[in-house]
Amino acid sequence: MNTRLYVIAIAPGLALALGIYLTDRYDREPVNLLTKVFFLGALSVIPTAFVEKILLSLNIFGGILGTAYTAFIVAGLTEEFFKREVVLRTAYRHEAFDEKLDGIVYAVFSALGFATVENIMYVVFRFATNPYIGLYRGILSVPAHMLFGVTMGYYLSLSKFAKHEVLRKSYLKKALAVPVILHGIFDFVLMANIPMLMIFFVPFVIYLWVINLRRLNEYTNESRRIYEGLRDQDDEL
């Protein structure tokens, strides 16, 4: 067993998960629930791989349409569906999910659990002889899964705390649809092998970071205001 490759494969996901955990500094989530979400996210690779294999066999398209089908349907839709399903079946209705930042935390942990196993498959097994794969995936692919998770969690929280059923269902759909679109674009640009498209890749990645850091900051600031409000109430008592 090549321990170095395992460390390279696992470290990015764990580091990003720790970063998100520390960001949630005002009302941290239960470690046991976060661990459960992370490992179920990791296990979701199994049904994802099964469904992706079936969907790939149904790809009747050629050329650029076939690439789009693989990027948006096979990879984007399938992976984001199962990552969201983990959160819906574990944390979404849990009493610990009591503020909007929590949606991002749980969705990111599910996404990083998935990304960590996927990274092991690529770095340790599929491309063990290529020393650059671990670096490339640690810089781009694993953080991308985290950013898709931030988007998913952002809308899951809007759904969780929506006051009207119509809004709840709308945001719940967006919690899948928007990450699928972003994931599909990310994969499509890399898979299409069209030099002109690569011009837009770096701006797209920058956009992913900017928009999702804004979402994370929005919910972190809200969490701080809630915490400070409760602290002020305690001080008055």
pLDDT in tens, 95-136: 999 999 999 999 999 999 999 999 999 999 888 888 789 899
For the cut 80, the answer to whether the pLDDT of residue 213 exceeds it is yes
For the cut 70, the answer to whether the pLDDT of residue 154 exceeds it is yes
Domain layout of the chain by residue ranges = 3-236
Mean pLDDT of 197-213: 95
For the cut 90, the answer to whether the pLDDT of residue 2 exceeds it is no
Instruction: Give the model's pLDDT for residue 20.
Output: 97
What's the whole-model pTM score? 0.95
Mean pLDDT of 37-61: 97
Q: Which pair of tokens denotes residue 152?
A: 């998913």
Within 10 angstroms of residue 81's Cβ, the number of other Cβ atoms is 16
Which residues does 81 contact at the CB level (< 8 Å), separation at least 6? Answer: 176, 180
Which residues does 138 contact at the CB level (< 8 Å), separation at least 6? Answer: 8, 11, 12, 119
Instruction: Give the model's pLDDT for residue 138.
Output: 94
> Over the stretch 172-183, which tens digit does the pLDDT of each residue have?
999 999 999 999
Q: Which pair of tokens denotes residue 194?
A: 């069209």
Instruction: Give the model's pLDDT for residue 183.
Output: 98
For the cut 80, the answer to whether the pLDDT of residue 219 exceeds it is yes
8 vs 130: CA distance, rounded Å: 12
Tally of CA atoms within 13 A in the half-sphere of 184 that contains its CB: 19
3-state secondary structure of 28: coil
19 vs 53: CA distance, rounded Å: 33
228 vs 225: CA distance, rounded Å: 5
The rounded mean pLDDT for the chain is 94
Mean pLDDT of 39-55: 98
Span of 50-54, 116-120, 155-159, 195-199 with lowest mean pLDDT: 195-199
